[in-house]
Structure 1
Amino acid sequence: MLQNEIKTSFIELGKFLTQFSLDKSILDKNVLNNVLFFDDFLDLIKLSQSHNGWYTPENVFFSIQSWATALTDENLDIWISNYDFSNSNSKNIGIILAGNIPLVGFHDFLSVLISGHNVMVKTSSNDQHLLPFLAKYLISVNPEFRNHITFVEGKLENFDAVIATGSNNTARYFEYYFKDRPSIIRKSRNSVAVLNGQESPAQMIALGEDIFRYFGLGCRSVSKLFIPRNYNFDLFFNGIFSYQDVIKYEKYANNYDYNKAVFLMSNFKLLDNEFLTIKEDSSYASPIASVFYEYYDNLADLKERLEKDNDQIQCVVSNNLIENSVNFGQTQKPNLWDYADNVDTIKFLLGV
């Protein structure tokens, strides 16, 4: 397939996804193959929470709209214009996907195909329906995709390279199993926010989006705060108050109750607003319904610490306190050229 044909197909997919939102999904007669796919996709979205209890309609629609925004002619051109695809030879690329948030592996799926390779997808048991549906839509737009997209059940075989995402434990297995093949192995990471107490109320509200979107299950979810001594936590709690309805989701509430009980039985000192616990801790990965914090005395020393721990951190959120930090409220809205773990997926694929 020519790259322009691939790009055009994904643009059509973006137009298809644009129709679906939490407020109202409206059929656009100008979108290709809507008669075949619109109602079925809407039904699948409604069923997503029965497939995975964390996939609430709000979060599934958010993911869909994020990809609808990304898959435009302009964005795809900006992204791929940085690479030379002229010497790319088609290979079989396996991708092993996580299932922590809806469509979490879509960027790898897109990257493999836009690079001219064949993709062999092994989905997570927690997310087995959304991506295969979108693949069917792509095939309806351009039937040639049928020869380039395979969903694998069981053992992944006959591949030339692999991109695998999992926990730190599964990453060790991946590293051993794929040691003789070119690979990108992604481990667990977390995101942090660096505050100085000068943030605006609007920025604190936006930080709530970074914390609570996808219930904090994503690697781009903020799970740790770095704050100066004598930080006024009222600023933080006032900002996140508008997210209080998160406690109405049973799975989240169960985690809140359990983790709070564990902390209290261990005699840890907590701050608590009845839907989130805040605990002083040096770790980056906090349990669901909790955020860790740590004090810093010197911003230069903190920058050194973050650089040293770079392999544990996905995003840093700040008000320009840290170089290349992400703006408040933007962690779950990456651009196509914002690569997981800062590993350039396209560069890897072009070198296979």
Structure 2
Amino acid sequence: MVDQTKRIKSFAKLGEFFREFSDSQKIGNIAPLENHWHSKLEEVILLAGHKNGWFTKENILFALESWGNILTEDNLTNWISRYDVKKNISKSVALIMAGNIPLVGFHDFLSVILTGNRAVIKLSSNDNVLLPFISKYLISEEPSLREEIEFCETKLENYDAVIATGSDNTARYFEYYFGNKPHIIRKNRNSVAVLTGNETKEQLKGLGEDIFRYYGLGCRSVSKVFVPKTYNFDAFFEAIFDYNPIINQAKYANNYDYNKAVYLMSEFKLLDNGFLMLKEDNNYASPIATLFYEEYQSLDQLKKRIELEKEKIQCVVSNGLFDDEVEFGFTQKPGLYDYADGVDTVEFLLKT
């Protein structure tokens, strides 16, 4: 019999650990040598950055702090109590995780464990040290989890359901191999912002966070803005100026230089502030260091279009325009109720 209370307490303890670690980093404290878990996490963050140049310490700490704020006993209990978890039939769930941003698959992992299922995890080579460390911490708090978490480095076998996250291309592969099992298969999505020209400086600065956090590599990263005809971008550029140090990150700078050269050779019209290029484009997925924009004539028409193309969109950032909009500056701070692609993972697990 699964003791859900113990599982919740172990994740709440993890949240407390994340909060303590984040606080110690902010004030510049070095973890005491006798604090094994703090010291080990320092090493893991360093290793994750060595393996993936996009995983800077700042961005990993941001992910840890965000989850630390979410993982409290009250939050977890209130969230999971909305479901009839007792009806769950325990099963092994294969989790095929992406590696675009730190801990991108943690919500799926959390959902599987708290519903009383077993996680069989296939990690991306781009993010394969953070979750194993977290699992060791959870097992230290709740030893019964040792049998409920497995990391698979070879072919996945002996699983009852699948949650796989990847690109449109890998989704076709996933459908072929896992289509005969109950599954959630996620494809490419991007996030957009809808501006009216009435945004405050603070809102536009928040939009900068939505654009630049994780270097724009997440599905919740804003990759495109819709603006009214004759929109003046001066206020936007002024508001995001404080993000200019991003150009000092070598991988980001290389992408900026490369994409700018391609655009100039193709004679595309660009707006450029030295660390971000704005290109008028109908597509949603913009390259690194580029933000696509598109003008609209009617908000009503734009709303209809976004509704028609919602399968391509993860988040819509705006101010009082959409029922399910995200506030400026908050796309990378999803809560427990924010399910990727709008598919309720917990409900899926309980019905499978």
Structure 2 length as normaliser, TM-score? 0.97
How much has 1:276 moved relative to structure 2? 0.4
How much has 1:88 moved relative to structure 2? 0.8
Q: Is the 8 A contact 2:45 2:57 kept in 1?
A: yes
Give the corresponding residue for 2:55. Answer: 55
Q: Is the 8 A contact 1:247 1:253 kept in 2?
A: yes
The percentage of aligned residue pairs carrying the same residue is: 57
Structure 1 length as normaliser, TM-score? 0.97
Q: Is the 8 A contact 1:19 1:27 kept in 2?
A: no
Q: Which moved more, 1:228-237 or 1:210-219?
A: 228-237
How much has 1:27 moved relative to structure 2? 8.2
How much has 1:79 moved relative to structure 2? 1.1
Give the SS at the match of 2:86: coil
Give the corresponding residue for 2:208. Answer: 208
Could you list the runs of 5+ residues in structure 1 that have no partner in the other structure?
A: none
Give the corresponding residue for 2:13. Answer: 12
Could you list the runs of 5+ residues in structure 2 that have no partner in the other structure?
A: none
Give the corresponding residue for 2:124. Answer: 124
Counterpart check, 1:23 vs 2:26: yes
Q: Is the 8 A contact 1:161 1:182 kept in 2?
A: yes
Could you say what the CA RMSD is over the residues aligned between the two structures, in angstroms? 1.3
The aligned length equals 348
Supply the AA of the counterpart residue of 2:334.
P
Q: Using a 3 Å threshold, how does the CA distance of structure 1 residues 276 and 27 change in structure 2: closer, same or farther?
A: closer
Give the SS at the match of 2:87: coil
Superposed CA deviations along residues 152-189 of structure 1, whole A, max 9, x for unmatched, are: 01111110000000011000000111110000000010
Counterpart check, 1:168 vs 2:168: yes
Superposed CA deviations along residues 228-249 of structure 1, whole A, max 9, x for unmatched, are: 0011101110111110000000
Give the corresponding residue for 1:82. Answer: 82
- Aligned pairs for 1:270-349 (under 5 A) are 270-349=270-349
Give the corresponding residue for 2:95. Answer: 95
Q: Using a 3 Å threshold, how does the CA distance of structure 1 residues 156 and 25 change in structure 2: closer, same or farther?
A: farther
How much has 1:74 moved relative to structure 2? 2.0
Give the SS at the match of 2:36: helix
Supply the AA of the counterpart residue of 1:308.
L
Q: Is the 8 A contact 2:47 2:129 kept in 1?
A: no
Which ranges of 4 or more aligned residues in structure 1 deviate by more than 2 Å? 20-29
Superposed CA deviations along residues 95-140 of structure 1, whole A, max 9, x for unmatched, are: 0000000011111110000010000000000001000000000011
How much has 1:147 moved relative to structure 2? 0.6
**Cα distance in 2, alignment partners of residues 106 and 27 from structure 1:** 26
How much has 1:150 moved relative to structure 2? 0.2
**Cα distance in 2, alignment partners of residues 334 and 206 from structure 1:** 15
Give the corresponding residue for 2:178. Answer: 178
Give the SS at the match of 1:156: coil
Give the corresponding residue for 1:251. Answer: 251
Supply the AA of the counterpart residue of 1:240.
I
How much has 1:26 moved relative to structure 2? 5.2
How much has 1:36 moved relative to structure 2? 3.2
How much has 1:322 moved relative to structure 2? 2.0
